[in-house]
Amino acid sequence: MVHKITKKSPNKIQKIANFQASNSKRKNYLPTYEENVFPAAREGLTEGKFHDMFMAGDGHELEDYTDKKGILHLAHAKSIYSSSMLAYNFFYWVSPENPLILNGTTYDKVYFEVKFPVLAKNSNGSRNNRPSNMDVLLISDDCQTIFCIESKYTEHTHHQAAIFKDAYFKPSCYYKDNPYRTSFIKWALRYNEKKNGYFAGIKQNISHIIGITNILHDADALAWFKANNPFIEPEVLAQINQDTEIIFTNLLYYSPEIGTNIYGDIHAEEKSYPYLLGELLFDHLQCALDEPLLLSRFITTYPELFAEIQSQMPNGLAEYLDNKYVLTNHA
């Protein structure tokens, strides 16, 4: 069916959008995002601070939206392959009443879609306010340790190019007190427009690393972080400083049959995402950054983490997660 668009019939644009959306991959979407969430976690996502966190993010997680071409897209959180809902289901429960102990650290605060300052300026010299959005932030009970998580469900199994804007190649566009600016430019040049693999994830990693090291080394960047994350309580923000310990991990979903040896032979092909992350870590990050704790757990799989923390989860959650996402061998 062909629709003719004229200036006199703008409503037809929406009709086409609805038609395209209804005939797209709806089999991979649920009617509501609440159905994608553990029952006890639904209220926290439909109202309150978790709802507001996702609404303030840049990923159109909770609302259907129309793109610049007039095509209607369903909210990402409705997708059965939503990495943000996978992460939300995993961590929503972390609180002072139900803390998470991980690697000997007690985390009692969780936040989603947390913004980190990446570039200080655009290539034309104007202020840059486009952040990197961290999927999950866990903060310890003493506010001295932050665990940053970038969650991937299926995205990393596809090829997508890394595209760096011009500002990434200019030293003057970075926060001035970050000591790793030269390395950032080298990495941007190394990976820009690479596309034979999930290089978009590598670009995202570089942006996250820039943002994290910014707040560890630059006072202006730290001030930006505190001013642009209103869902983190003021008393918590007040305790975050350049001495705060920060850990960053890529939390990747792989079926339990693959196991936890993600650097093993099954991922040894050049185009696999763990291979690309390993190259980034061993050939670039570890060589340039004097931040051993930051990189101490650079890659983790969901089955691996599930095995570590399932005993700490609220009643029924571990069984729900395993049934929904297959996190243990069911043979």
In sequence order, what DSSP letters do the residues of 96-112 get, joined into one string? SSS-EEETTEEEEEEEE
Q: Are the C-beta atoms of residues 269 and 262 closer than 8 Å to each other?
A: no
Contacts of 77 (CB under 8 A, 6+ apart): 33, 36, 54, 61, 62, 84, 85
pLDDT given at position 15: 41
- Whole-structure pTM value: 0.89
Q: Please give the C-alpha separations between residue 142 and each of 110, 114, 231, 282, 301, in angstroms, as whole numbers.
A: 13, 19, 18, 31, 27
pLDDT given at position 111: 98
- pLDDT (tens digit per residue) in 150-177: 999 999 989 999 999 999 999 999 999 9
Q: Are the C-beta atoms of residues 191 and 277 closer than 8 Å to each other?
A: no
Averaged over successive runs of 10 residues, the pLDDT of the chain (331 residues) comes to 37 41 66 95 92 87 90 92 97 98 97 97 92 97 98 93 97 97 98 94 98 98 97 98 97 78 48 88 96 95 96 98 91 63
